[in-house]
Structure 1
C-alpha cells in the first residue's frame, strides 16, 4: 500500500520527487566534503604541528619618565625584543605590526613597526622606541606613580600586535592576530647603580 501510494504521488507530482532526490544528493555531498576536510585538517596538523610563537624583551631603558602636576607624562623608553618562530615547517608573515607602551593600563606610547617575514625556526629582533608626552587620567595613577618613583622602579607594560599570514610550502593563508604582552619593572631615570636587566619572557595569545 505504501509503495503504491509513493508511486501515485510521483505520478501526480514528478517535480516533487526530483527535488527530494536532489536535496538528498546535496546533503550527502556536503557531509562527504565536511568529513574529508576534517580528516585533511587533522592530517595537516599532525604533519606540521604548529607551535605558539615566543617573545622575550632582551633589554629596556627609561631615560625620561616624569609626571607633571597636571598629570602629563613625559617619557622616553627604548626596548629591544626578540620574536621567534619555533615551527619547523611553517613560515610566518607579520603584517600591521604595532608596539604599544602602557602605564597603569593606560597607553602612553605607540610605535608602528615594519612588516616582516620569519622563515621556519627563525628569530627577529625588534627595537621599538617611545618618546613624547601623554596625559594620564585618574588620581590613583598619580599616586601610584609617586609611590613607584620613591621606590626607584616603574612597572611598565610593552605590547606587540600583528596580523599573521601563514606560509606552508608555496601556499599562503590568512592567520590569526598575534598579541604579545611584556610586563617590565624598569629603574627610574637617574637611579644610582641600577641592577643589570634580566630578559623577560612575554605572554603570547591569538
Structure 2
C-alpha cells in the first residue's frame, strides 16, 4: 500500500520526486566530503604533529625609566627574546610583526619588527627596543611605579603579535594570528640592581 502511494505520488508530481532525490544525493555527497576531510585532517595531524611555538625573554635592560610629576613616563628599554619553532615538518612565516611594552596594563612602547621565516626546529633571535615618552593614567599606576622604583625593579609586560603562514613541503597556507605575552621583572636602571632572570612567555592563537 505504501509503495503504491509513493508511485501514485510520483506520477502525480514527478518534480517533487526529483527534488527529493537531488536533496538526498547532495546530503550523501556532503556527508562523504565531511568524513573525507576529517580523515585527511587526522592523517595530516598524525604525520606532522604540530607543536606550540615557544618563546623566552633572554635579557632585558632599562637605561631610563622615570615618571615625572605630570605622569609622563620617559623610558628606554631593550629586550632580547628567542622564538622557537619546535615542529619537525612545518616551517613558519611571521608577517606583520609588532612588539609592545606595557606597565600596569598601559601600553607605553611600540616597535614594528621585520617579517621573518622560521625553518623546522629553528630558533629566531629578536631584539625589540622601546624609547620615548608616554603619559600614564591614574593615581594607582603612579603609586605602583613609585613602589616598584623603591624596590629596584619593575614589572613590565612585553607582547609580540604576528600573522602566521604555514609551510608544508612546497605549500604555503594561511595560519592564525599568534600572540606572545612575556611578563618580565626588569631591574631598575641602577648599577647595583640584581641581574635579569630569563623568563618564559605565554603563547596564544
Shorter-chain TM range is over 0.9
CA offsets per residue over residues 163-202 of structure 1, 9 Å max, x none? Answer: 111111111111111111111111111x242223221111
Structure 2 residue 131 is matched with structure 1 residue 105:
no
- Say whether 1:24 aligns with 2:24: yes
Aligned match of 1:93: 93
CA distance in 2, matches of 1:44, 1:2: 47
Q: Which residue of 2 aligns with 1:198?
A: 197
Structure 1-normalised TM-score? 0.97
- Equivalences, count: 205
| Aligned counterpart, 2:9 | 9
Q: Distance in 2 between matches of 1:12 and 1:163?
A: 59
Identify the residue that residue 67 of structure 1 maps to in structure 2: 67
Structure 1 position 161, deviation (Å): 0.6
The secondary structure found in structure 1 opposite 2:78 is strand
Matched, 1:131 2:131: yes
Map of 1:115 onto structure 2: 115
- Matched residue SS, 2:111: strand
Specify the alignment match of 1:42 in structure 2: 42
Report the alpha carbon displacement of residue 5 of structure 1 after superposing the two structures with TM: 1.2
Moved more, 168-177 or 132-141: 168-177
Q: CA RMSD in A?
A: 0.8
The aligned runs of 1:43-58 (5 Å cut-off) are 43-58=43-58
Gaps of 5+ in 1: none
Deviations 1:128-149 (CA, angstroms, capped at 9, x unpaired): 0100000100000000111111
Alignment correspondent of 1:167 = 167
